[in-house]
Amino acid sequence: MLDVNKQFTIIREFDAPQELVFKAWTNPKMIAQWWGPKGVFTPICEVDAKPGGDINIVMEAGVALGEFKGTQWPMEGSFVEIEEPSKIVFTANAISDGEPILEHKTTVTFEEKNEKTKMTVHIHIKKVNEALAKPAVGGMEQGWNEQFDKMVEFVNKYNTNGGENK
């Protein structure tokens, strides 16, 4: 794996309280409903949201992704820091054929103002397997943005429905 230093930051605003947006990152049942870019679902979502706790998420391409339908993209990692409800730091590896291909550290902060929550996500790609990770790195920022589009929709609907996402 080659050391790299690619970084990007994404900011989103939610019409929901900070505690709910934080919970959407730490409750596996909630994470599974928004994790992954457009056309992707999450058949496996195991998250132990505490410092040192493990992350095991598998994304799978749905029908909307045509010939990629059924392709799975696993991710493994662990939580480094959790300050409820204001900050989450975790490291993760994208996995291909059982081997890490992309390592990143992600810092998520939450700030509530006027009954809305501002979420800032900073992704720092630290290492890549250049041969296997090039497509993943190239589409990573777009994928995270699509994922957060789904998250905003999920959290806002969940908040509006009083805790039930229909």
For the domain made up of 2-160, the CATH class stated in words is: alpha beta
- Which one, of 109, 78, 108, 72, lies nearest residue 93 by Cα? 78
Residue 146 three-state SS: helix
pTM: 0.92
Q: What is the pLDDT of residues 131-156, one digit of tens each?
A: 776 666 767 889 999 999 999 999 99
pLDDT in tens, 1-59: 788 888 999 999 999 999 999 999 999 999 999 999 999 999 999 999 999 999 999 99
Q: Which residues, including other chains, have CB under 8 Å from residue 21's CB and lie 6 or more apart?
A: 14, 85, 110, 117, 119, 155
C-alpha angle 80-83-85 in degrees, rounded to nearest 5 = 130
pLDDT for position 166: 46
Domain ranges of the chain: 2-160
